[in-house]
Structure 1
């Protein structure tokens, strides 16, 4: 995954990262954390009635040059460009969202990175209860990341990611360790941007992680979670975008 206008140095400035750029786990962890805390997960394009572009050059322009965010294909696509530039071994995988009341198609996209024979789930574009760092894909693996707890369960050939939410394990999405081409996500992108039953067409969203929590904006309600403490307030969506995410509608 690359783009003619992608520059690793520009990307690193965008995510406020000045550490090592080696294809190892420590670099991968630092890069993912930095992007999650700098590039918001947001759906302003969809809410404006537009279908987000999957052209790599346009993703680069939107997020790096114009300082915006995006949803999974865009932000994970950008992350993959950085992985390619550094020399990581990786592939895209389709994931099935599990927070809907009924079974869904695999409309989410994740990145699987292989380091020293181990496969790690990376995801910079899931939102509220997404992982904070790379997570080794192993059945039964339970990991605590900055106070958030996750586990994997292998069910019917798919690894299901669970998050511990209010003391209960909540399934987030399931995926198989099967590489998918970038072009395969074009239909899922169209579905997420246009179907009336998707969360992206129904609600205005913006999520960004912080060192000890995350900021979650849904329509005109903002939740700021820090060290497990939740503060909720009503705030006009465009105002919250500007004040908390450095974005404009």
Structure 2
């Protein structure tokens, strides 16, 4: 994943990473965590009636220079730019979201990174129950604790990986994927669907998520949900509060924090 306006020092500054950065497992884990904690998952462009641009230079400019976030193609695309700059091999994979009541197409993007002889699922753009660190593809069936969350990768009858999250004490399927590498252009139809289709959650609702070391903050339309050490608090916002919360809690400047069509 290449963008002519991407440079690694700017990326590291944007996510607040000041330590070692090299083509190794420690860096992979550190950068995913730092990006999750600083770059919000957000769909403000879709809510404003705009189709999200998949031009790599637009993604780099939006996140690195405008201080924005993005949804899966954007935040995972940016992460892939960093992996390429570091010399870490990766591939994009297409994933089928599984939390809808009906079967859905493979509209989600994730990244498989290969470093020091292991393959890792990396995903910085799956919203409320997204993983918080890379997951080892060889650890199938192993319960993996990540801060106060627990995840598991299993294999289904078709040989596809299924990511599960423990939600309210029960395992809940999040998405399924195989290891077929996808080209960047393969996600253009899914991006158009997510940006425009009236049944797409990103069209229907404002959704912003930012992880932190003890949990995450989630804004779904006017409902603010904060998760801290497994404890959940919910607060309904007045419409005039939304812009302020986007700026103060999610780091999105008031000038761009204008949800609504």
TM over 0.5: yes
TM-score bin, normalised by smaller chain: over 0.9
Q: CA deviation at 1:152?
A: 1.0
Q: What is the rounded CA distance, in whole Å, between the counterparts of 1:141 and 1:112 in structure 2?
A: 18
Q: Does 1:148 align with 2:149?
A: yes
Q: Which runs of 5+ in 1 are unaligned?
A: none
Residue in 1 aligned with 2:80? 80
Aligned-residue CA RMSD (Å): 0.9
Alignment of 1:39-50 (within 5 A): 39-50=39-50
Pair 1:210-2:215 in alignment? no
Using the TM superposition, give the Cα deviation of residue 239 of structure 1 relative to its aligned residue in structure 2, in angstroms.
Answer: 2.6
1:220 correspondence with 2:225: no
Asked whether the 8 Å contact 2:143–2:150 carries over to 1, the reply is yes
Measure the CA separation in 2 of the matches of 1:193 and 1:151.
30
User: What does residue 243 of structure 2 align with?
Assistant: 238
| Residue 180 (structure 1) aligns with | 182
Preserved CA contact (<8 Å) 2:122 2:135: yes
Matches within 5 A, 1:1-249: 1-138=1-138, 139-155=140-156, 156-235=158-237, 236=239, 237-247=242-252, 248-249=257-258
Question: Moved runs in structure 1, 4+ residues, more than 4 A?
Answer: none
Q: How many residues align?
A: 249
The CA deviation at 1:25 is 1.2
Secondary structure of 1:50's counterpart equals: coil
Query: How many angstroms does 1:238 deviate by?
Result: 2.1
Residues 193-214 of structure 1 show CA distances to partners (whole Å, capped at 9, x for unaligned) of: 1111111011101000001100
2-structure distance, mates of 1:11, 1:239: 26
Aligned-partner SS, 1:124? coil
Once residues 49 and 142 of structure 2 are traced to their aligned partners in structure 1, the CA distance between those partners, rounded to angstroms, is: 40
Question: Following TM superposition, by how much is the alpha carbon of 1:118 offset from its aligned partner in structure 2, in angstroms?
Answer: 1.8
TM-score scaled by structure 1? Answer: 0.98
Distance 2:12 2:149 in 1: 26
